[in-house]
Amino acid sequence: MALLLSWTAMTTWHVSLSLLDHIPGHCSPNIQTDNIGYGGDLRRQGNKDVLDGNLTFRESFKEMMDSVTTPYPECIQYLCDNIKLDPYFKEFYTWSRENNVPVIVLSSGMVPIIRALLVHLVGPEAEDIEIVANDVADRPGKKQDQTGGWEIKFHDDSDFGHDKSLAIRPYADHIAKLPENDRPTLLYAGDGVSDLSAARETDLLFAKKGKDLVTYCEREGVPFTLFEDWKSILETLKDIHSGKKSLEKVAGEGAEEAKQEGKEKETTK
């Protein structure tokens, strides 16, 4: 088993191999933009524009990050002071280490911030977590420790800036070459528009309840399993790892829960 995580799913101010895009709460770029950038209203409109196909994620995210002019070291300190970890994420990470489940963070954020936050919130053992993300660079003629002195350095040339599907495929290709009985299950946990490219790339997708990734999956017919916090993800992973539940059973339960959630939305309109 391996888990890929989206950073945003792991934090609480706003994350199975394990690919995390979702590190329990709001993601650090969102927090930067909402509080020391151009604000939450413009950020949410940018997300809507991406979902509606009016902007690429790369364009929207560049606007977000350009709105933050605070010196980069101060950004890192601000986030360390204000972000809280999902209370169950550390328990999840301890379990993953004890059971040899690799954890990889895929993020549209920037490596220096993510690494600093992981070590600050989880502890020195978080130095072992692999991070695949964007980076940061000096603006021409300036330094990162100056006001307006930094800019995002995208991971690739795609419309996402960091196309997570391209990051996942080498892991999937490696797994496909293993003997069938030795192939780990590839899981992904995410929540937002930065996760759209990753939605179809793994054996099981966890999508955070009420977030943009759920909207996208429902519209495009992408199978997913809802989660609210890392407690529910950990319980599901334990069931799969122990053989209590098959991947097919978990996916089926996820589809049924999502269908029920959709019916409840319709009745409240």
Q: Is the pLDDT of residue 263 over 90?
A: no
Selected residue with higher pLDDT from 38 and 263 = 38
Region of residue 204 (phi > 0: left; psi between -120 and 50: alpha; otherwise: beta): beta
Report the b/e string of 125-160 with b at 16+ CB within 10 A: ebeebebbbbebeeeeeeebeeeebbbbebbeebeb
pTM given for the model: 0.80
Mean pLDDT score, 56-78: 94
**pLDDT, tens only, 174-211:** 888 988 888 888 888 888 777 888 888 888 888 888 88
Q: What is the pLDDT of residues 72-102, one digit of tens each?
A: 999 999 988 888 877 788 898 899 889 888 8
Task: State the pLDDT at residue 100.
Answer: 84
Please tell me the predicted confidence (pLDDT) of residue 13: 31
Percent of the chain with pLDDT over 70: 87
Domains and CATH numbers, the chain: 2-12+26-267 (3.40.50.1000)
Residues paired with residue 9 on neighbouring β-strands, in sequence order:
24
What pLDDT does residue 197 have?
A: 83
What is the average per-residue pLDDT within 227-255? 85
Kindly report, residue by residue over 142-171, the tens digit of the pLDDT.
999 999 999 999 999 999 898 888 888 888
Q: Is residue 3 scored above 80 in pLDDT?
A: no
The DSSP bridge pattern shows strands 225-227 and 204-208 to be parallel
Label each residue of the chain as H, E or C.
CEEEEECEECECCCCCCEEECECECCCHHHHHHHHHCCCHHHHHHHHHHHHCCCCCHHHHHHHHHHCCCCCHHHHHHHHHHHCCECCCHHHHHHHHHHCCCCEEEEEEEEHHHHHHHHHHHHCHHHHHCEEEEEEEEECCCCCCCCCCCEEEECCCCCCCCCCHHHHHHHHHHHHHCCCHHHCCCEEEEECCHHHHHHCCCCCEEEEECCCHHHHHHHHHCCCCEEECCHHHHHHHHHHHHHCCCCHHHHHHHHHHHHHHHHHHHHHCC
Question: Sign of the C-alpha dihedral, residues 191, 193, 194, 198?
Answer: positive
**Whole-number mean pLDDT of the chain?**
83
Q: Is the pLDDT of residue 66 over 90?
A: yes
**Interatomic CA distance for residues 257 and 80, integer angstroms:** 35
pLDDT for 5 equals 55
Can you tell me the mean pLDDT for 122-137?
92
CB 56 within 8 A of CB 156: no
Q: Looking at 57-71, 77-91, 105-119, which range is the least confident one?
A: 77-91
Asked whether residue 1 carries a pLDDT value surpassing 90, the answer given is no
Q: What is the CA radius of gyration of the chain?
A: 18
Q: Output the pLDDT for position 14.
A: 29
Output the CA–CA distances (angstroms, integers) from residue 85 to 119, 195, 230, 267, in the order listed: 11, 20, 10, 33
Residue 230 exposure: Cα atoms within 13 Å on the Cβ side: 30
Is the pLDDT at 23 greater than 70? The verdict is no
| 214-240 tens-digit pLDDT | 888 888 888 888 888 889 889 988 988
